[in-house]
């Protein structure tokens, strides 16, 4: 007992931890092995079925239609426009390359098959593919010869179509055999679960016995001094920085901790004062960081649209789109400045809406009417763009037919008032309440994207202008939503 008291606190805790962790490590290792084995088996079957499924319908359909086109047009395969989708939605292919592709897939499927029968099934399928390739070659050799049409049609019906049907049947048999193996894996998983249950009960009993015994013994030498320290820390938490600890006859880390407690309390008062002074600075830094975050999906979607336009040879549209995107990010970055003019903010939301019109050209219209007398006033960067994005995503996009986003800016007395209005789906009372609550809670307290935007806008308005200004909403279902921003008519930097 005397020797145990002389042990360091780390060693005492380690004894308890070892008693609890070692049995649990054994249990976890067994669980991981079971999960890994079962997951691997399921994954093998799923991958095999998914890969085989790609050819169940498409292979027969594409080979049959391509050879049919060759016969009725009296053209060889290389004279056809293969690789294109016909009017009936079928992709024409080079049958020889497509057959070689499926043969390569057969090698993969045979190697990863979970049923022994399927390995020989893939060998038979490759033989059938070789025969099919020869039949197509014979068919091609006969194309262009005199009175060959009827013979080629007969070859299609009796040879090519029959062989592609056989290929399709072989693939389906492979898939069926693989899926039947799920039952065997499930039975093995059930057996493993029973073993895990018994193992868990035994490990839990062992852990309880060891940890309880060691914990009771450790409590007498650890918890007493800790209770005393907790009482003193409560006094310090209440603002009493004169709290002092008594000497402890011990040689462990708790003794060292209590020796240093007195020195620490002398510094806490100064630290609290420093934290209060830095609080507003930290809040401002946080909102600046949140402001700098750009939704990657907007960039991805814009670049996808540019790729789509480029593939459609609409080069002028690509140039326009990328120009708008460049203007959008130029304002977003704005050389690291936190404030921009209202005119720059207007160009920013115009760039955003012009970019979105490429995606929603049939459903999105907008108009921006900001008094030019306000152009030289500076406002926090990205004050209106999150509200415009919110109007598009949660208002216009869910509406049937075309919708309109309107942005206005007016000088009302000593205040500047912006309104972002949409005629989208609107909100009922519950959704409107949640949105208003999100704007008050702050952008960091919700994972919802809409709440992030409005919370960030409202938070920055409060920091820069005070609690008397902010963001306000009104909405009606199936009528639309208006976000109203009220800030003082003065420049803040």
Predicted local confidence at residue 443, as pLDDT: 43
Q: Looking at the DSSP assignment, which residues form a beta bridge with residue 471? A: 485
Q: Is 388 within 8 Å of 418 (Cβ atoms)?
A: no
- All residues at 6 or more sequence positions from 446 whose CB lies less than 8 Å from its CB, including other chains: 438, 452, 455
Q: Distance (Å, rounded) from C-alpha 434 to C-alpha 451?
A: 9
CA angle 459, 461, 462 (to 5 degrees): 65
Identify the residue whose tokens are 């409005």. 454
Tokens representing 277? 């002074």
Q: Is 287 within 8 Å of 456 (Cβ atoms)?
A: yes
Spell out the long-range contacts of 323-330 with Cβ–Cβ below 8 A and sequence spacing 24 or more: 324/351, 324/354, 324/355, 325/299, 325/351, 325/355, 327/351, 328/352, 328/355, 329/294
Tokens representing 394? 């949660």
Q: Distance (Å, rounded) from C-alpha 76 to C-alpha 386?
A: 59
Per-residue pLDDT of the chain (493 residues; tens, 9 = 90+): 445 555 666 666 676 667 667 777 877 787 777 777 677 767 777 887 888 888 887 888 888 888 888 888 888 888 888 888 887 788 889 999 989 998 999 998 888 888 888 888 889 989 999 999 999 898 888 887 766 788 888 888 888 888 899 998 998 888 888 888 777 777 777 777 788 778 788 878 877 787 777 676 666 666 767 777 777 777 777 767 676 776 655 566 666 676 677 677 777 767 766 665 555 554 554 444 444 455 566 777 788 888 888 888 888 888 888 888 888 887 777 666 788 999 999 999 999 999 998 888 888 999 999 999 999 999 988 899 989 998 998 889 888 889 999 999 999 999 999 999 999 999 999 988 888 887 776 544 444 545 557 777 888 888 889 889 999 999 999 999 999 999 998 876 5
Which DSSP string corresponds to 221-271? HHHHHHHHHHHHHHHHHTT-TT--PPP----SHHHHHHHHHHHHHHHHHHH
Predicted local confidence at residue 447, as pLDDT: 42
Q: Looking at the DSSP assignment, which residues form a beta bridge with residue 407? A: 368, 420
Q: Is 310 within 8 Å of 318 (Cβ atoms)?
A: yes
Query: Taking the CB of residue 446, how many other CB atoms lie within 10 A of it?
Result: 16
Predicted local confidence at residue 282, as pLDDT: 46
Query: Taking the CB of residue 470, how many other CB atoms lie within 10 A of it?
Result: 19
Q: Distance (Å, rounded) from C-alpha 148 to C-alpha 169?
A: 30
What's the Cα-to-Cα distance from 15 to each of 10, 26, 276, rounded to whole Å? 9, 17, 42
Q: Distance (Å, rounded) from C-alpha 321 to C-alpha 324?
A: 5
Q: Distance (Å, rounded) from C-alpha 166 to C-alpha 160?
A: 10
pTM for the whole structure: 0.44
DSSP letter (8 states) at residue 374: G
Burial of residue 418 (number of CB atoms within 10 Å: 0-12, 13-18, 19+): buried
Tokens representing 110? 């045979």
Which CATH number is correct for 293-488, 3.30.465.10, 1.10.1040.10, 3.90.1640.30, 3.30.565.10?
3.30.565.10
DSSP letter (8 states) at residue 327: H
Burial of residue 347 (number of CB atoms within 10 Å: 0-12, 13-18, 19+): middle
Q: Distance (Å, rounded) from C-alpha 389 to C-alpha 367?
A: 14
Predicted local confidence at residue 277, as pLDDT: 57
Query: Taking the CB of residue 241, how many other CB atoms lie within 10 A of it?
Result: 15
Of how many residues is the chain composed? 493
Predicted local confidence at residue 444, as pLDDT: 42
For strands 480-488 and 470-476, give the pairing. Answer: antiparallel
Q: Looking at the DSSP assignment, which residues form a beta bridge with residue 405? A: 366, 422
Report the chain's terminal Cα–Cα distance, integer Å.
Answer: 68
What's the Cα-to-Cα distance from 91 to each of 78, 82, 171, 257, 263, rounded to whole Å? 15, 8, 20, 76, 80
Q: Looking at the DSSP assignment, which residues form a beta bridge with residue 473? A: 483
Sheet containing 415-422: give its strands across. Answer: 364-370, 403-412, 415-422, 480-488, 470-476
């Amino acid at each position: 007992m005397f020797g145990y008291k002389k042990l360091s606190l780390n060693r005492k805790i380690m004894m308890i931890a070892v008693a609890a962790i070692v049995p649990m490590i054994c249990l976890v290792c067994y669980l991981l092995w079971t999960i890994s084995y079962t997951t691997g088996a399921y994954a093998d079957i799923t991958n095999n079925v998914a890969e085989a499924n790609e050819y169940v319908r498409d292979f027969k359909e594409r080979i049959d239609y391509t050879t049919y086109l060759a016969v009725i047009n009296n053209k060889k395969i290389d004279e056809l426009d293969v690789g294109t989708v016909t009017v009936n939605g079928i992709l024409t292919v080079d049958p020889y390359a497509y057959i070689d592709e499926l043969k390569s897939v057969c090698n993969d499927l045979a190697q990863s098959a979970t049923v022994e029968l399927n390995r020989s099934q893939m060998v038979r399928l490759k033989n059938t593919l070789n025969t099919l390739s020869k039949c197509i070659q014979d068919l091609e050799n006969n194309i262009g010869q005199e009175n060959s049409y009827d013979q080629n049609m007969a070859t299609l019906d009796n040879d090519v179509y029959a062989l592609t049907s056989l290929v399709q049947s072989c693939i389906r048999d492979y898939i069926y055999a693989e899926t039947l193996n799920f039952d065997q894996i499930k039975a093995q998983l059930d057996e493993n679960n029973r073993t895990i249950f018994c193992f868990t009960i035994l490990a839990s009993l062992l852990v309880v016995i060891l940890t309880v015994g060691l914990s009771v013994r450790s409590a007498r030498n650890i918890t007493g001094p800790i209770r005393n320290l907790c009482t003193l820390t409560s006094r310090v938490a209440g603002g009493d920085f004169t709290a002092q600890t008594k000497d402890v006859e011990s040689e462990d880390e708790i003794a060292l901790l209590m020796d240093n407690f007195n020195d620490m309390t002398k510094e806490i008062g100064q630290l609290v004062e420093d934290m209060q002074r830095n609080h507003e600075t930290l809040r401002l830094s946080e909102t600046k960081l949140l402001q700098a975050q750009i939704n990657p999906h907007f960039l991805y979607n814009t670049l996808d649209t540019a790729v789509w336009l480029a593939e459609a040879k609409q080069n002028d549209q690509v140039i326009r789109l990328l120009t708008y995107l460049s203007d959008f990010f130029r304002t977003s970055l704005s050389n690291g400045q936190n404030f921009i003019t209202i005119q720059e903010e207007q160009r920013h939301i115009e760039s955003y809406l012009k970019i979105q019109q490429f995606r929603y050209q049939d459903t999105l219209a907008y108009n921006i009417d900001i008094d030019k007398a306000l152009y030289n006033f500076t406002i926090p960067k990205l004050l209106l763009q999150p509200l415009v994005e919110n109007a598009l995503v949660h208002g216009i996009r869910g509406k049937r037919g075309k919708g309109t986003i309107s942005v206005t800016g007016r000088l009302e007395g000593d205040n500047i008032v912006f309104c972002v209005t949409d005629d989208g789906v609107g909100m009922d009372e519950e959704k409107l309440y949640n949105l208003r609550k999100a704007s008050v809670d702050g952008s960091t307290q919700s994972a919802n994207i809409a709440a992030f935007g409005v919370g960030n806008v409202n938070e920055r308005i409060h920091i820069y202008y005070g609690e008397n200004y902010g963001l306000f909403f009104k909405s009606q279902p199936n009528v639309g939503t208006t976000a109203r921003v009220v800030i003082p008519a003065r420049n803040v930097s």
